Amino acid sequence: MLSYAMLSILSSWFIICNVSLQSFTANAGILLCPISLLTANVIAEIYGYKNARRAIWCGFFFNLLSFSYALLIINLPSPSYALHNPLFNSIIITYLKTSFFFILSHLIAESLNIFFLAKLKLKLNGYYLKLRLLVCVLLSLLINNTILFFAKYISSPIHLQFFPTLLIDILITLPILPVICFFIEKVKKLELFAYLQYSVPC
């Protein structure tokens, strides 16, 4: 839960930065989204939908706390010797403008991600883990990127190249997916072993 909250805050902070990857321009914060979505899926798959929802709300709360504190800081007066504070304030203002839309889109995409996973798990009787994770992450990335892409039309400073960003997100997801599936299966076995060990009387 803590690792998910940390990823959520990192994503919202680095959303203000664009990076050049060969001929593509990508947003540094959005590059963390596949990892964040897969982390939420790990929690949902091992510890259940309710705990995954708690993790998402925990991440949202910390983002809101960071947003509120940043808003407070720029409205407090600066001492006369702090010559670089106006530069810092301009960075914080950019963060506030970008993170507002990102936090909302992230909350929607993450909530739908674990909802899709729970529904698919019931529909497929718990089988096809890799397929379920891939479908849920791809759908959630599509939703997240769509919201952020259209947010620029309502004065958002986020400049998102829709298809290149989606392609980069997919390329990040694909190599991580087998590792995540292996990790989930191993933890499930360990959890089952621990449960049997403590539930069966000696």
Query: Got the DSSP string for 102-131?
Result: HHHHHHHHHHHHHHHHHHHHHHTTT--HHH
Q: How far apart are CA 70 and CA 180, in angstroms?
A: 34
The pLDDT tens digits for 6-36 are 888 888 888 888 888 777 777 888 889 999 9
Residue ranges with strand state E in the chain: 18-21, 24-27
Mean pLDDT, range 186-199, rounded to an integer: 70
Please state, in angstroms and rounded to a whole number, the distance separating the CA atoms of residues 163 and 170: 10
> Between the CA of residue 161 and those of 33, 37, 146, 199, what are the distances in Å?
15, 20, 10, 53
Between 76 and 201, residue with greater pLDDT: 76
Token pair of 178 as six digits: 């087998």
Tokens 């000696």 sit on residue: 202
- Residue range 2-199, CATH number: 1.10.1760
Mean pLDDT of the chain: 86
Say what the pLDDT of residue 198 is.
61
Residues 92-106 pLDDT 10s: 888 888 888 888 998
Cα–Cα distance between 110 and 105 in angstroms, integer? Answer: 8
End-to-end CA distance of the chain: 34
Q: Which residue would you say has higher pLDDT here, 189 or 142? A: 142
Higher pLDDT, 187 or 1: 187
Token pair 């593509």 in the structure block, residue: 24
Q: What is the pLDDT of residue 202?
A: 47
DSSP-derived pairing of the beta strands 24-27 and 18-21 = antiparallel
Sorted by where each begins, the domain ranges of the chain are 2-199
Question: Which two three-digit tokens encode residue 65?
Answer: 């706390």
Angle between helices 162-199 and 33-47 (to 10 degrees): 20
Q: Above 70 in pLDDT, residue 156?
A: no
